[in-house]
Amino acid sequence: VLSAFRAAAHPKRVRLGLVQQNAPGDTDCIAEACRRLGVPLQDLGMGRFANPSHCALFGRARVLRMNASEAAGPVYARAQQRQLVRDEDDFCLQIDAHTEFGRHWDMRMLAEWGAAANEYAILTAYPPNAMQLGKNVNGHWEMPHFCRARVVSPGIVRNEQASAAAGLTRPLMTALWGAGLSFSRCHAERRVPADPHLRHVFDGEEYSRGARLWTSGYDFYSPTRPIIGTYYGTDKGGKGGWRSVHAEWRASQARLSTLLLGRGSSQSPSARASLGEYALGTRRTLEQYAAFSGVDVSAGQSRRRCLVDYVPWDDADLAAAAPGERARRRAARRAGKAAQRAMRPTA
């Protein structure tokens, strides 16, 4: 929390949405941040606080306080984020709790997103180790870049360890989405939120939501430089996991298999209808995503897809529903094509 505000170029523009899952006796995150700043909050009990010392962070953080006993895995927790997004929010950044922010991360994220020249762009990657944030470790600014995911069981697809792209001058389109860094227009969070019914899911989170985002018209890009970093392994100082309920996990696995047409999955009208608003999008098809991502869930096969090309979709429906968004999308596509032409070598 402190890193996000201290490193921002414009901290007053930043609003934090925090899903907190604490056990009795755990320190409240915002209360601790304000204490460290020397402007402590007054604890009123029952998760309520007063701000007599005028801690600036207090008014810039939206906190959903849950008991740790309610935890049901990362997808369920991320699904609660939806309650914290407001209509006035333009850009949304999803991260893990064990994240460190680089200097002026807010302006750099916006610059990278703009360089993608795509209203539906999502910057995504596995962030580098926080210890290496801002360091050109190997001399050519090597960035994590998704190339492959594997089908580990019917409906469960897991991203492989990221490959690398070096010396990027603009964000590079990638076939896969990662949960630890996802920066986009907030309409992505509003239209394709995490599925709260995927309780106790860890493997399977990223490919399933990526499929929903991509079929809804969104595109994924690796940023050119490290902007945030993550503490991995024991460095992140975690307090342990959650208690998984096997029956609920099995139901989640079946739900993922229905979504992604896994082998042996139920494709009955009731099973498909049960996906509700968490079904695939309608701008592109799952078959197109299988070809784009190199992952055929039905066949249980996958292949590397490090370099991918944009797959167009029809935005005619935006003319009436969201004319401003359609205009931005088309202007961004024109700018992107112009930039690509300018980068082509000439004889």
What is the signed CA dihedral for 96, 231, 184, 260, rounded to 10 degrees? -60
65-77 pLDDT, tens digit each: 999 999 999 999 9
Average pLDDT, the chain: 93
Q: Greatest CA span in the chain, whole angstroms?
A: 72
For residue 64, how far is the Cα from the chain centroid? 18
Evaluate if residue 345 carries a pLDDT over 50: no
The domain 72-233+244-313 is placed in CATH, from the list 3.90.1530, 3.40.50, 1.10.357, 3.90.550, at: 3.90.550
143-168 pLDDT, tens digit each: 999 999 999 998 899 999 999 999 99
CA 41, CA 33: separation in Å to the nearest integer?
10
291-301 pLDDT, tens digit each: 999 999 999 99
Evaluate if residue 86 carries a pLDDT over 70: yes
Q: Where are the domains of the chain?
A: 1-70, 72-233+244-313
The count of residues in the chain is: 347
341 pLDDT band, cuts 50/70/90, is low
CA 344, CA 347: separation in Å to the nearest integer?
10
Contact 176, 293 (CB under 8 A): yes
Q: Give the per-residue pLDDT at 92.
A: 98
Evaluate if residue 343 carries a pLDDT over 60: no
160 DSSP assignment: P
Q: Give the per-residue pLDDT at 340.
A: 59
Strands 16-22 and 149-153: what pairing?
Answer: unpaired
Q: Give the per-residue pLDDT at 236.
A: 72
Radius of gyration in angstroms for the set of CA atoms belonging to the chain, rounded to a whole number:
21
Around Cβ 166, how many Cβ atoms within 10 Å? Answer: 11
pTM of the model as a whole: 0.93
Q: Give the per-residue pLDDT at 34.
A: 98
Alpha helices in the chain (DSSP H): 2-7, 29-36, 74-79, 105-115, 187-191, 205-215, 246-260, 269-273, 286-293, 318-321, 323-343
Nearest to 285 by CA among 270, 274, 298, 273: 298
240-293 pLDDT, tens digit each: 777 889 999 999 999 999 999 999 999 999 999 999 999 999 999 999 999 999
Q: Structure tokens of 216?
A: 């809804």
HEC profile for 235-262? HHCCCCCCCCCHHHHHHHHHHHHHHHCC
Q: Give the per-residue pLDDT at 346.
A: 39
